Amino acid sequence: MDEKPKILWKNVDNKYQYHVTISTIGSTIESENVDESIVYIEDLEKRRQAYGICGECNEPGTGEKWCQSCNAKRFKNNFKNWTSGNKHIDEFIQQSQLNAIHYKTCLEWIPFEKFQNVTYIAEGGYGKIYSAEWPEGHIKYWDIENQKWYRFIYKKYALKSSYNSSDICSDFLNEVI
């Protein structure tokens, strides 16, 4: 019989940052300049202390209630269930999901119909800018007990429409980055 995954996350102590930092391979940090709040991805023990352990794979987290490897598998399994209609955008979003070490580094494709109370704000370089409500809210972490994404709802979200969204290329996506 398989055991149900357990919640093994720690609340992030305010002495640590909320997600790991990808360190440069081969870099050295002088001991007098070490910032103890920085948690590097290679430092498994500090990740365990800062974020706790994933209740599914038993590895240290990469951010507040976040396991990069387990969440990447979840996202990958869901790729077939959505598309923006543009190959470049789909690949851009998918890469952000596969590499996300924290919820703030994870993008989602949200169909326009899921937004409510859309209000025009201004015109920008590639299109128009709007504010909107998104009742579902953005992914915050995987709820291990209920086996679904826990989502957080802000009152307003910013939307940007593109004049030629079907022709979006890597130049536009570089602006996004």
For residue 78, being part of any structural domain is answered with yes
On whether residue 129 sits in a domain, the answer given is: yes
**Does 161 reside within a domain?**
yes
Judged by phi (left if over 0) then psi (alpha if -120 to 50, else beta), residue 135 lies in alpha
Domain-embedded: residue 171: yes
Inside any domain, residue 20: no
Give the residue numbers spanning the domain of 91: 70-176
Q: How many domains does the chain have?
A: 1
pTM assigned to the model: 0.84
Looking at residue 161, what is its pLDDT?
83
Q: How many CA atoms lie within 13 A of 23 on its CB side?
A: 13
Q: How far apart are CA 92 and CA 107, in angstroms?
A: 9
Cβ-based neighbours of 144, under 8 Å, separated by 6 or more: 5, 6, 7, 55, 56
CB atoms within 10 A of CB 75: 19
Each of the 177 residues of the chain gets a pLDDT tens digit; together they read: 567 788 889 888 888 988 999 875 555 555 556 788 899 999 999 999 999 999 999 999 999 999 999 999 999 999 999 998 888 889 999 999 999 999 999 999 999 999 999 999 999 777 899 999 999 999 999 999 999 999 999 999 999 887 766 667 677 677 776
Beta strands 138-143; 148-152: pairing state: antiparallel
Whether 92 is in a domain gets the answer: yes
Answer whether residue 65 is part of any domain.
Answer: no
